[in-house]
Amino acid sequence: MQYRSFTKDNLQVSSLGFGCMRLPLLKNSKPDEKEAIRIIRHGIDQGINYIDTAVPYHDGESETIVGKALKNGYRDKVLVATKMPTWQPTKKEELDTIFEEQIQKLQVDCIDAYLLHCLQKGFWQNALKLDMISWLEKKREQGKIRYIGFSFHDGFPFFQELVDYYNWDFCQIQYNYVNETVQAGTAGLKYAAQKGLSVIIMEPLFGGVLASPPGKMNEYWKKTGQNPIDLALRWIWDKPEVALVLSGMSNMEQTVQNIEIASRSGIGTFTQEEHALISNAQAIYNESTPIKCTKCRYCVPCPSGVEIPLNFETYNNAIVMPDTHQLAKNLYGMLLPEQQAGHCTECGACEEKCPQQLPIQNLLKQVAKHLK
């Protein structure tokens, strides 16, 4: 296993972290607790020392399973991460209630890495309203939390605002080779790293879609004879700004494979030929996107508050990668009502500014119909 520095304390963290959002399932779609514990412990035995979970994962069961997996001495071998569901509490006192339940489920005295979960503009407003950062600082003073961070699902301009708002220890962003300009993207990765934050990557395989991509991308990878999983993961690990990559491993085969790939990863080890393979795959993906938005952002701010480029990104991903359709709908649903495509009032201001001369008003109707 390869290790990298995490936070200003320069903790040595495994380049591969175990994401506990996609644990093995039984036929009734409930988590297979016994098998989940087995693969989590196997990962730790092979050098993984960062375990990530959250309240919503597996309908609240993920934290409990992680707590059981970390018995018998495994707790001392890892950093444990979980998150405050920023959308859930409506009163300050509920923060303590949620946190204490997490502590009990995880069976720990201290949570090593604690995140404000899924920050986007709407949830951030709730976090500010309830003064969650002061609450986090209090928990750290009490020895209940070691490091403070956030996970992110919004656009780059808002990401910059968040990074600059507070002296975070780390952040967690969605990032993969087809999402370089989506959400925080490459710009966000570099910006956070320059500001001294350790950056954790989630969705490196886009929810598993890049492991067996559809359509033309699938045909492309077959022709190259290359393993798309290997290249997708090592492409990320090649970047010096990345502290660790989370993978939601669902079985022992995936766990063993990802550990093996991680062992061959490293900054600057991606060859020119491999970069060319990824560039070609990116081109195929971009050619397949139905809305040719370049994300120049000339169209925003919208007078009605619609986040036009973000709506188009979400829609494009849902169309090009059909397996991500539900994820796209979920992300669309998490936008503030005024940010959603359906809030367009057809004033036409955006179309006057668009360098690509896109029929934005009609396209927003299309997005709203597809993702509502």
Asked if residue 120 belongs to a domain, the reply is yes
Q: Residue 355 — pLDDT band, cuts 50, 70, 90?
A: low
CA 240 to chain centre: 18
Tell me the pLDDT tens digit for each residue of 88-106: 999 999 999 999 999 999 9
Q: Residue 61 — pLDDT band, cuts 50, 70, 90?
A: very high
Q: How confident is the model at residue 286, as a pLDDT?
A: 83
The residue from 221, 254, 277 where one domain ends is 277
Q: How many domains does the chain have?
A: 2
Asked if residue 12 belongs to a domain, the reply is yes
Tell me the pLDDT tens digit for each residue of 188-197: 999 999 999 9
Percent of the chain with pLDDT over 70: 100
Kindly state the tokens that stand for 126: 């709730």
Tell me the pLDDT tens digit for each residue of 203-239: 999 878 788 887 788 899 999 999 999 999 999 999 9
Q: Cα separation of 341 and 335, whole Å?
A: 10
**Mean pLDDT computed over every residue of the chain:** 93
Whether residues 142 and 269 share a domain: the answer is yes
Q: How confident is the model at residue 330, as a pLDDT?
A: 84
ω into 301 cis (within 30 of 0)? yes
Least confident stretch, 134-148, 242-256, 306-320: 306-320
Asked if residue 202 belongs to a domain, the reply is yes
Averaged over 315-339, what is the pLDDT? 84
Of 102, 105, 4, give the one whose Cα is nearest residue 50.
4
Q: Cα separation of 195 and 202, whole Å?
A: 20
Whether the Cβ atoms of residue 111 and residue 84 lie closer than 8 Å to each other: no
Tell me the pLDDT tens digit for each residue of 277-296: 999 999 998 888 888 887 77
The residue from 255, 277, 299 where one domain ends is 277
Averaged over 341-354, what is the pLDDT? 91
Whether residues 231 and 346 share a domain: the answer is no
Whether residues 174 and 248 share a domain: the answer is yes
Asked if residue 288 belongs to a domain, the reply is no
Averaged over 13-32, what is the pLDDT? 94
Whether residues 269 and 321 share a domain: the answer is no
Whether residues 169 and 318 share a domain: the answer is no
The residue from 228, 259, 277 where one domain ends is 277
Q: Cα separation of 157 and 24, whole Å?
A: 37
Of 175, 196, 270, 180, give the one whose Cα is nearest residue 226.
270
pTM of the model: 0.85
Q: Cα separation of 205 and 229, whole Å?
A: 7
Question: Which residues, listed in sequence order, are joined to residue 157 by a DSSP beta bridge?
Answer: none
Q: CATH number of the domain at 154, please.
A: 3.20.20.100
Asked if residue 314 belongs to a domain, the reply is yes
Of 73, 50, 54, give the one whose Cα is nearest residue 62.
54
Asked if residue 303 belongs to a domain, the reply is no
Q: How confident is the model at residue 10, as a pLDDT?
A: 96
Q: How confident is the model at residue 25, as a pLDDT?
A: 93
Whether residues 244 and 102 share a domain: the answer is yes
CA atoms within 13 A on the CB side of 30: 5
Residue 19 has pLDDT above 90, yes or no: yes
Whether residues 45 and 186 share a domain: the answer is yes
Q: The domain containing residue 330 runs over which residues?
A: 308-371
Whether residues 43 and 113 share a domain: the answer is yes
Whether residues 216 and 351 share a domain: the answer is no
Averaged over 240-258, what is the pLDDT? 96
CA atoms within 13 A on the CB side of 242: 29
Asked if residue 292 belongs to a domain, the reply is no
Task: Write phi, then psi, for 100 (nearest 5 degrees).
Answer: -65, -35
Averaged over 262-288, what is the pLDDT? 94
Whether residues 250 and 324 share a domain: the answer is no
Q: Residue 14 — pLDDT band, cuts 50, 70, 90?
A: very high
Helix, strand, coil % in the chain, rounded to nearest 5: 50, 15, 35
Whether residues 270 and 314 share a domain: the answer is no
Tell me the pLDDT tens digit for each residue of 161-184: 999 999 999 999 999 998 898 889
The CA-atom distances, in angstroms, between 270 and each of 60, 101, 205, 235, 236 are 38, 43, 17, 7, 9
Whether residues 317 and 273 share a domain: the answer is no
Asked if residue 290 belongs to a domain, the reply is no
Helix (H) or strand (E) holding 149: strand 145-152
